[in-house]
Structure 1
């Protein structure tokens, strides 16, 4: 997989995706198209069980490339196309069939924080922080997702002021799995990824689907949905192998069937 703004490495059923648009991984139309194409492909690849998403350099992503903004209003339809690209790059991460771990190696601002919020699991380096600074350039976006993650008061304070929340505070709030020195971040994220990659591929896919879908379902429907997944999984070869391996005290060998 080759992209102009991303680096992708696949090894041992783990895809490492690195945002790579120096100096601060600002997201332009090209990067957003690359993100969408990349996650769509990884979603379908049988040799990928899970994904680690990080940034090159010392910034995860500074968000939208503001240099694209001034000319959008000059051409009819340009804003619509721009907004569609933004939405689709975010939802390519959210809707990916594989779990995504965000290894936040530095500031994640605006749309950069959006990619983190679209991921399943978050870990961060000690020098990382998140923010929605759109208000500082006369814009306003992102409160939809802020209010799903933070309390009403904190979400709105961040939205109205562009306030930064550092990794230590995110860890204190229980929003990230770990706050680590920079050199320990990627190894920790890859350790989580290896644990995921050792599971049944079909069970992991349905687990990701259930985690996403049940967030938008009433509790009763969500519970029934999960039970349906369990019934379907119980009929797979992987489930039978997992149960045999448990009884025989050995590691299971999965086939994805």
Structure 2
């Protein structure tokens, strides 16, 4: 399929999604709809075992297309539809069972930052900045930012960042655990690829996907429900070819040859 707002690169079972909606990779409604279709496709693609999201040019993503808002002002249903579309995209990215890495190459603001927050792992370029400036528009973050940022940083830091609308440097993002790594601009994609490889290389996707599911779904559930899910997924793997291969390979002191089934 030809994609209008993204460029795809596939290598070694890693798919890189490059946001390409110049000049600042705005997450317009059509772009969001396309991304939702793309991620559903990648979820079912056996040749994709990990996903990297980054931006073309200087920006990761500058957020929603504010020009779209002008014609929708005064219509609560239109506002709800905008929020629902952005939240649906971020929810679907977070719920993917394949590891998703945000390689934040430049400013990630508003909805662009919220998209990055929905990824499972975040690496920031030393030239990148992140922030949620929506209050300056008389709005609030509505693609999940109030909730995901709070879960990552805690309530006090989320209140600080959202109410002040300030942007954070790469160093500050790592310090607040918003990003796991900061990297020099020229090394960002090499590092993101190495991280993606470390998540899937030499591992069975049957177990990788269940691990991601248990961690992400468990973060939104009670401990009891999360442990129940963990037990069930562990037991399911006892029926898999890969568990049999992995355990036999360990006993026989050789590398496993996984079937990913």
Q: TM-score, normalised by structure 2?
A: 0.93
Using the TM superposition, give the Cα deviation of residue 64 of structure 1 relative to its aligned residue in structure 2, in angstroms: 0.9
Q: Does 1:228 align with 2:238?
A: no
Contact 2:246/2:256 (<8 A) preserved:
yes
Q: Which runs of 5+ in 2 are unaligned?
A: none
Q: Does 1:204 align with 2:196?
A: no
Using the TM superposition, give the Cα deviation of residue 196 of structure 1 relative to its aligned residue in structure 2, in angstroms: 2.2
Counterpart-to-counterpart distance in 2, 1:123 and 1:114: 14
Contact 1:49/1:196 (<8 A) preserved:
no
With 95-104 and 67-76 compared, the bigger mean Cα shift is at: 67-76
The residue matched to 1:22 in structure 2 has which SS? coil
Q: TM-score, normalised by structure 1?
A: 0.94
Counterpart-to-counterpart distance in 1, 2:173 and 2:250: 37
The residue matched to 2:37 in structure 1 has which SS? helix
Cα RMSD between the aligned structures? 1.7
Aligned to 1:213: 217
Aligned to 2:190: 187
Give per-residue Cα distances to partners, 1:116-175, cap 9 Å, x unaligned.
Answer: 110001111111121000011111123222211213222111111211111101222333
Using the TM superposition, give the Cα deviation of residue 74 of structure 1 relative to its aligned residue in structure 2, in angstroms: 6.4
Counterpart-to-counterpart distance in 1, 2:12 and 2:192: 14
Give per-residue Cα distances to partners, 1:180-237, cap 9 Å, x unaligned.
Answer: 1111111111011112232111111111111121112221331232122111112211
Aligned to 2:160: 157
**Cα pair distance change 1:196/1:27, threshold 3 Å:** same
